[in-house]
Amino acid sequence: MSSNPFLSPWATPFGVPAFDRITPSDIAEAMERGMAEQLAETAAITADPAAPSFANTIEALERGGALLESAGRVFSNLVSSLGTDALQALERDFAPKLAEHASRIALDAALFARIDDLFARRDSLGLAPDALRLLERRHLGFVRGGARLGPAEKARMAETSQRLAVLHTEFGQNVVHDEAAWHLALDEQGLAGLPGFVRDGARQAAAERGIDGHAITLARSSIEPFLTFSTRRDLRQAAYRAWIARGAHDGPHDNRRLIPEILALRLERAKLLGHANYADYRLADTMAGTHASVARLTDEVWRAALPRAAAERDRLAAIARADGINDGIEPWDWRHYAERARVAEYALDEAELKPYFELENIQLAAFDTAGRLFGLTFTERPDIPKYHADMRAWEVRDAAGHVGVFLADNFARPGKRSGAWMSSYRDQQALDAPVSPIIVNNNNFARGTPTLLSYDDAETLFHEFGHALHGLLSRVRYPSQSGTSVRRDFVEFPSQIYEHWLAVPETLAGFARHHETDEPLAEAVVKRLLAARTFNQGCATVEYTASAILDMALHTHPDPGGLDVGAFEAQVLSDLGMPREISARHRPPHFQHLFAGAGYAAGYYSYLWAEVLDADGFGAFEAAGDVFDPAAAARLRALLEAGDTRDPMALYVAFRGAEPGTGALLRNRGLAALQSV
């Protein structure tokens, strides 16, 4: 009998993976076996002599691939959360294998013939609405995957899939390498200006790297506070340049050599499928629909943000002149002088605010909000196996009983992918029997004793927890429609609307409490904090929107194979009128949203699109006069439960009563007054 834990049911609470028993070789064996099993299952579908039916074709596909799904989810999560050499080697080995496997199914002519037959007869099959949508979406997925192409074109699609899988993996691992390889050691003079929480984080970072003293790393939770508080302009410059140079170093980890090939392969695939460029291909299956729709949104926001950013720059430059900086501020100065301006204008000092935003309390605040809105409770379960000591686990329940399991992995560490994300180890579904979800949030907070968060960090935790609720509250029949399996420019709506509840007075009064005295944040400070939410939004909006526009420019380029990535980036930003003192939030060589996978390729605008929805959507609670209004919360829960069983705009209109406009977004960012500029 095999000792591989994937080959028998998990003997763990709620069927959580047996992390304490899993080895890389177990994962490899399970994925190899899982691919073989899924191919056999697919062959059985196509060999079925009975006429195609929804049950023997679509539902059979939904049931297939269980072992590969289980092992693959564990693998993809662990390689991001742990990033060990063994897991990264496995990722390099399996990326093309998994791509080739997916292509064999997506391009199976006999399988598509059955699906196409059902699609042609869909109106006569008497399907329930969720089943009809599943059939339509399955059919569209096969068509967009190349199922209608000729044999030579199908072979080329499979080749490009495998090559892109290799390139995506290499791109992501190169960024992780650069982030792990760099640190800035700080002597006593290098600590100038740094408050206690930044020093504590720097001390912890140094210890994790086996060096004495203090160090700044390229984890966002390390470098951004350093750029904010350090009074050593020379060190801010060094740290900033290292930050924006990730993935852009000559040698084997240089992502600039990968981007043109990735773009060229994507363009080739789009053209094979009848699209002029990759952006047109991706947007054809989104809420936005067209490049023109995206451009209207980004152009409107850009025009509103640019004059606001210019005014912010002038204000910061005036402060910098008092420090003898007379020739204008640089990008590595912006955060530092913005913090000084915020202190002056709102009497808000992040170093004084942070003691009130302790990680444990903010996690509890996210739980409490979910309880007040949706009736959820969270009970920590120390008996659940862990893949790392940082991981924590909770059982989630509501009045009806068990809902799912929520995992949190909140700290930055060497080898862990940067950023913050939600994922799942198991999706909710009820095809044959109820299956509850296992959802994980990853953050990259700087560890401390205790761990203190900036307000932005706290918003990030709420954001990712909003994604988690989308997975936890899913109530669908079919696995392919579960939770976050929705269109890319809708998936950010649940996460972004949840951020609003961090700022409500009830949350701040209950959970923004001093970690030593338990005193709540003073009401006067809360008012100033909320008033300052639009502070520096010109810069923040320009940073983000520039990246979204650059994404579209890259994916509409007519001949990207020989692209000089740096020169192209500079030209696009110059044409936009990008302020010299602000850089795009993500430069192409480390833009993992675009190039470590295709998830947000020609789709980075999605955060802005979803912000139109969330800004308007939170208005449902404001209009009710109660941010926890039970009727609005019930409608929001219905949206979260629905997954991909309905069109996303139909779900939104059912929740809100009408389609949204951009007005609420511009007001929330403090840009409404500049709309016509």
Active-site pick, 312, 350, 464, 569: 464
Token pair recorded at residue 553:
């420019």
Decide yes or no: CATH 3.40.390.10 for domain 357-486.
yes
Q: What is the pLDDT of residue 673?
A: 52
Q: Are residues 383 and 405 in contact, defined by beta-carbon separation less than 8 angstroms?
A: no
Decide yes or no: CATH 1.20.1050.40 for domain 5-106+108-148.
yes
Any idea what the Cα angle at residue 470 is, between residues 469 and 472, rounded to 5°? 55
Domain regions of the chain by residue span = 5-106+108-148, 182-244, 255-354+537-604, 357-486
Q: Are residues 38 and 68 in contact, defined by beta-carbon separation less than 8 angstroms?
A: yes
Coil vs helix vs strand at 636: helix
Largest separation between any pair of C-alpha atoms in the chain: 83
Q: Would you call 464 a catalytic residue per the annotation?
A: yes
Q: Are residues 254 and 247 in contact, defined by beta-carbon separation less than 8 angstroms?
A: yes
DSSP notation for 212-224 = SSEEEESSHHHHH
What residues contact 540, with CB distance under 8 A and at least 6 apart? 669
Q: Distance between CA 14 and CA 383 in Å, rounded?
A: 11
For residues 625, 629, 635, 639, the Cα torsion angle rounded to the nearest 10 degrees is 100
Q: Distance between CA 586 and CA 583 in Å, rounded?
A: 8
Q: Distance between CA 395 and CA 13 in Å, rounded?
A: 10
- The DSSP code for 55 is I
Token pair 């930055």 in the structure block, residue: 412
DSSP notation for 584-633 = -SS-GGG-HHHHSSSTTTTTTTHHHHHHHHHHHHHHHHHHHT-TT-HHHH
* Ramachandran sector of residue 536 (left: φ over 0; alpha: ψ -120 to 50; beta: rest): left
pTM beyond 0.85, yes or no: yes
| CA 646 to chain CA centroid, nearest Å | 22
Q: Where are the alpha helices (DSSP H) in 473-591?
A: 488-499, 505-511, 523-531, 537-555, 565-576
Q: Distance between CA 459 and CA 467 in Å, rounded?
A: 13
Coil vs helix vs strand at 153: helix
User: Which numeric CATH code is attached to 255-354+537-604?
Assistant: 1.10.1370.10
Amino acid of residue 16: V
- The DSSP code for 78 is H
Which DSSP helix (H) or strand (E) runs through 397? strand 392-398
What residues contact 555, with CB distance under 8 A and at least 6 apart? 263, 266, 277, 278, 279, 282, 601, 602
Q: Where are the alpha helices (DSSP H) in 356-454?
A: 359-374
Q: Are residues 360 and 450 in contact, defined by beta-carbon separation less than 8 angstroms?
A: yes
Total count of residues recorded for the chain: 677
* Ramachandran sector of residue 419 (left: φ over 0; alpha: ψ -120 to 50; beta: rest): left
Coil vs helix vs strand at 550: helix
Give CA separation, 282 vs 278, 335, 475, 488, in Å. Answer: 6, 35, 27, 10
Q: Are residues 183 and 205 in contact, defined by beta-carbon separation less than 8 angstroms?
A: yes
Q: Distance between CA 108 and CA 573 in Å, rounded?
A: 43
- The DSSP code for 54 is I
Q: Distance between CA 236 and CA 218 in Å, rounded?
A: 12
Q: Where are the alpha helices (DSSP H) in 16-150?
A: 24-47, 60-63, 66-81, 85-106, 109-120, 129-144
Token pair recorded at residue 115:
């699906």
Q: Distance between CA 477 and CA 473 in Å, rounded?
A: 13
Q: What is the pLDDT of residue 1?
A: 58
What residues contact 257, with CB distance under 8 A and at least 6 apart? none
Q: What does the radius of gyration of the chain's CA atoms come to, in whole angstroms?
A: 25
| Beta partners for residue 441, in sequence order | 408, 422
Residue 586 phi, psi (nearest 5)? -130, 125
Residue 409 phi, psi (nearest 5)? -135, 95
Choose among 368, 346, 352, 374: nearest CA to 506. 368
- The DSSP code for 533 is G
Run means of pLDDT, 10 residues per run, the chain, 677 residues: 88 97 97 98 98 98 98 98 96 97 98 98 98 98 98 98 98 96 96 95 93 95 96 98 97 97 98 98 97 96 96 97 96 97 93 94 98 98 97 98 98 92 98 98 93 95 98 98 97 98 95 96 93 94 98 98 97 97 97 96 97 96 97 98 98 97 90 53
